[in-house]
Amino acid sequence: MAVATASDHVGAAGGHPTIVISDVDAYLAGPAVYYRPPSLIVGVGSARGVSAREVGMLIDEALAAESLHSMSVRCVATVDLKADEEGILAAARERGWEVVTYPADVLSGVEVPNPSEVVWAEVGTPASPRRPRCMRQVVRAERRAGRREAQVGQRHGRHRKAAAQGQARDRRAGAGARDLVTPRAITALQRASVIVGLDQYVDQIRDLLRPAPG
Amino acid sequence: MIESGLGQEEERARTAVQEAQSGNAVALIGSGDAGVYAMASPALEFAATDIEVDGVPGITAAVAASNLLGRTARP
């Protein structure tokens, strides 16, 4: 068995059964399991009154243009003024993505290859406090049509690493599946009086805990 | 219940050890297996001999995924 990552996976495994961890929408000839890490963030900007179809098509085209897999999209990011823009919300909802909003002054600190006057959202870098900390300034794809645009960026490295271990908080099957929690782990949880953990993991097992005394 | 965010792994491990040292039964939880790039190492590092640390094995994503291989290989 071989494990391949985004940078080397295509053609590298030579027909052996392979686990591919990649957001690139490419397939090996041999047997393989593809794990799509939640490594991408789609920044969306639009004029008021955009339709879900227009936004959806633009995002799909932006991903397809760079062969990026939609299952690797973690969320849609946009400016907070667009928090109620139904076209953006519906397009994200149809695809099962959450919408994350940022104030304009945070987004304006993020560099994009082709700056636009249109409202836009893009990925940032931890190097500057004005940019969203969870993101990195690598633009993987960009698409514009009329007064709409979609940009696909890559999340910060540490999150990618976490994702590759199945630690991502999302709905995909993986080692987060409830029926893969061992009986021994459940017993240990129920014996404990104090639970310490990452917030998103605590959420996953909260219902297994015994009620607090008193 | 003590929860914290990404990037506070060492602090979480320290907290868990401190809680155990003050006499509590503590569960330090994570995804996958505690020994695979996870919380076992920092917890064991901070724990002295005054507390007992039990590792509970978990099914990590790579193991779960490898079991899908046979299925996808067949036509």
ipTM value, please give it.
Answer: 0.83
A167, closest residue in chain B (CA to CA): B31
Q: What is the mean pLDDT of residues B65-69?
A: 78
3-class DSSP state for residue B21?
helix
Model confidence band, residue A159 (pLDDT cutoffs 50, 70, 90): very low
Cα gap A31→A18, rounded to integer Å = 6
Nearest residue to A154 via CA among A19, A40, A78: A40
**pLDDT recorded at residue A155:** 60
Nearest Cα of chain B lies from the Cα of A115 at a distance, in angstroms, of 32
The answer to whether A125 and A112 have CB atoms below 8 angstroms apart is no
Is the CB of residue A199 less than 8 Å from the CB of residue B5? Answer: yes
Gap between the Cα atoms of A172 and A34, Å rounded: 12
- Residue A47 tokens, joined: 């004029």
Residue B44's SS3 state is helix
Question: Six-digit token pair at A163?
Answer: 């994702």
* Distance between CA atoms of residues B41 and B35, nearest Å: 7
Taking only the tens place, the pLDDT of each residue in B35-47 is 888 888 889 989 8
Q: Which residues in chain A are contacts of B68 at CB distance < 8 A?
A: 33
Question: In angstroms, what is the C-alpha Rg of chain A?
Answer: 20
Q: Is B52 on the interface with A (CB under 8 A)?
A: no
H or E element in which residue B61 lies: helix B61-66
**Do the Cβ atoms of A171 and A96 come closer than 8 Å?**
yes
> Contact A195/B19, CB-based, under 8 Å?
no
Helix or strand holding residue A199 (H, E): helix A199-205
Mutate to test the interface with A, among B31, B36, B46, B56 (most CBs of A within 10 A): B31
B2 to A158: CB separation less than 8 angstroms, yes or no: no
Q: How far apart are CA B5 and CA B52, in angstroms?
A: 26
Taking the CA of residue B51 and the nearest CA in chain A, the distance in Å comes to 14
For A60, the 3-state DSSP assignment is: helix
Rounded to an integer, the average pLDDT of A68-77 is 88
Q: Coil, strand or helix: which one is A10? A: coil
Which amino acid makes up residue A190? Q
- Of residues A169 and A47, more confidence is placed in A47
Rounded mean pLDDT of chain A?
A: 69
Instruction: Note the pLDDT of residue B4.
Output: 82
**CB contact B54 to A (< 8 Å):** yes
Counting Cβ atoms within 10 Å, is residue B69 exposed (0-12), middle (13-18) or buried (19+)? middle
Integer Cα distance of A132 and A144 in angstroms: 23
Whether residue A175 contacts residue B32, with contact meaning beta carbons closer than 8 Å, is answered with yes
Please write the tens of the pLDDT for every residue from A80-138: 877 888 888 999 999 999 888 887 766 665 555 444 443 333 333 322 223 333 343 34
Closest by CA to A167, choosing from A179, A157, A175, is: A175
